[in-house]
Amino acid sequence: MERITIIGLGLIGGSLGLALKAAKLTGIEIVGYDKDKLAAGEARRLRVVDKSEPVLQRAVRDASLVIIATPIMAIRGVMEEIAGELRENCVVTDTASTKAIVMEWASQLLPVTVSFVGGHPMAGKETAGVQNAEAKLFAGKPYCIIPAPDASEGAVRVVTGIVQLLGARPLFIGAEEHDRYVAAVSHLPLVLSSALFTLVRSSPAWPELAALAGSGFRDAARLASTDAELSHDICLTNRESVLHWLDRMVEELGRYRELLQQGQEEELFKTFARAQLDRDTYVAAGPPVREPVAAEELLTSGEQLAALLVGERLVRRVKDIGKLLDGRQERVRRKGVEGRDEP
């Protein structure tokens, strides 16, 4: 029985558990941990995990795969706590919305005997908590995979296989590139949504505005309901990229304002028309087609996943035995040379 441990049983961690359970994995035990005992109890009730463990170190002990699904700023502390308990050749991954700082923490804190493969599912909801978890939350969504430089090939295959079992689309990308791009398509919309709501809500005319607000305002302000800790951590850990796109947004709003202020009716119409056409084309075309994953890399069963997890451990063991034998041969060779040098 191979163990997968999910640390953090909120929306993402809970959805991961439900998706893995829905895949009907055999030979796999899914263990959960959350510092919030109520969340852990709810996860057990909803059968998100096979069992929950109240002590973090015990939760990861003997785990083949550890998934860290906590708030971003909690990841460093989690890594510090589990580092000494991870078994040799364990695969560790995460679900954080920013990657450069997490990859740095992993390189500093995790032992060299484990492989870290960063991850970020481009999926979620504005409603938090395990009670809002969905098995199909990741279906059809991009899932960024960022292997550490020293991650083994087998570890990358394990995480890629998990992503495929979730129904998501694996997307390999560098950490710095990831943070710059998601700042534009994910983090900027989050800040703008919150800013729109705080702007309108702070107006003395809020009661009248709220009575008039329709689906357009609700849709535009939807992300303002995102968990405050998540929003805070995203901005704190991806500050420069978010600032860059905020500055770009200020410039773009200034361009619209100038067109409106100067009464450039024709150019204003063309600007809205281009935006409508480009957006409609983007929606109709869907995401760009990327190089498909080779058929032999696809996982179709829990047995295959378990075999990969076991294989990772065996690969490390074989390497260690090889080093040991090489060392012995070297000592024998030196002893022989020393013996011939004797008079």
* Least confident window among 60-64, 143-147, 219-223, 313-317: 313-317
Q: How far is CA 292 from the centre of its chain?
A: 21
pLDDT value of residue 25: 83
Give the phi and the psi of residue 7 in degrees, each rounded to 5.
-100, 115
Q: 140: domain CATH number? A: 3.40.50.720
Q: pLDDT for 112-121, tens place per residue?
A: 999 999 999 9
**What number is the average pLDDT over the span 206-219?**
96
- Would residue 115 count as lying in a domain? yes
Indicate whether 119 and 255 sit together in one domain: no
CB distance 93 to 68 below 8 Å: yes
Higher pLDDT, 225 or 127: 225
Amino acid at 252: E
pLDDT band at 270 (very low <50, low <70, confident <90, very high): very high
Res. 308: pLDDT tops 90: no
Give the phi and the psi of residue 35 in degrees, each rounded to 5.
-65, -25
Indicate whether 183 and 118 sit together in one domain: no
- Would residue 261 count as lying in a domain? yes
Indicate whether 65 and 160 sit together in one domain: yes
Indicate whether 160 and 20 sit together in one domain: yes
Structure tokens belonging to residue 236: 């704190």
CB distance 17 to 46 below 8 Å: no
Per-residue H/E/C for 49-61: CCEECCCHHHHHC
Round the average pLDDT of the chain to a whole number and report it.
88
Indicate whether 30 and 65 sit together in one domain: yes
Indicate whether 184 and 198 sit together in one domain: yes
Indicate whether 43 and 147 sit together in one domain: yes
- The proportion of the chain whose per-residue pLDDT surpasses 90, expressed as a percent, equals 78
What are the beta bridge partners of residue 208? none
- Would residue 76 count as lying in a domain? yes
Indicate whether 114 and 79 sit together in one domain: yes
Amino acid at 133: A
Per-residue H/E/C for the chain: CEEEEEECCCHHHHHHHHHHHHCCCCCEEEEEECCCHHHHHHHHHCCCCCEECCCHHHHHCCEEEEEECCCHHHHHHHHHHHHHHCCCCCEEEECCCCCHHHHHHHHHHCCCCCEEEEEEECCCCCCCCHHHCCCCCCCCCEEEEEECCCCCHHHHHHHHHHHHHCCCEEEECCHHHHHHHHHHHHHHHHHHHHHHHHHHHCCCCHHHHHHHCCHHHHHHCHHHHCCHHHHHHHHHHCHHHHHHHHHHHHHHHHHHHHHHHCCCHHHHHHHHHHHHHHHHHHHHHCCCCCCCCCHHHCCCCHHHHHHHHHHHHHHHHHHHHHHHHHHHHHHHHHHHHHHHHCC
Indicate whether 136 and 242 sit together in one domain: no
Structure tokens belonging to residue 283: 């929606």
Higher pLDDT, 84 or 313: 84
pLDDT band at 249 (very low <50, low <70, confident <90, very high): very high
**What number is the average pLDDT over the span 222-241?**
94
- Would residue 28 count as lying in a domain? yes
Q: For residues 146 and 93, what is the distance between their CA atoms, to the nearest angstrom?
A: 9
pLDDT value of residue 129: 92
- The proportion of the chain whose per-residue pLDDT surpasses 70, expressed as a percent, equals 84
**What number is the average pLDDT over the span 99-111?**
97
Indicate whether 158 and 192 sit together in one domain: no
Q: For residues 315 and 158, what is the distance between their CA atoms, to the nearest angstrom?
A: 13
- Would residue 204 count as lying in a domain? yes
pLDDT band at 286 (very low <50, low <70, confident <90, very high): confident
Q: 215: domain CATH number? A: 1.10.3660.10
- Would residue 203 count as lying in a domain? yes
pLDDT value of residue 204: 97
Strand 142-147 and strand 115-121: the pairing is antiparallel
Indicate whether 54 and 155 sit together in one domain: yes
* Least confident window among 90-99, 171-180, 181-190, 285-294: 285-294
Q: pLDDT for 79-91, tens place per residue?
A: 999 999 999 999 9
pLDDT value of residue 52: 93
* Least confident window among 86-90, 154-158, 190-194, 328-332: 328-332
- Would residue 295 count as lying in a domain? no
Indicate whether 150 and 64 sit together in one domain: yes
**What number is the average pLDDT over the span 200-217?**
96
Residue 318: CB atoms within 10 A of its CB come to 10
- Domain count along the chain: 2
Residue 48: CB atoms within 10 A of its CB come to 27
| Domain with 201 in it | 178-284
- Would residue 342 count as lying in a domain? no
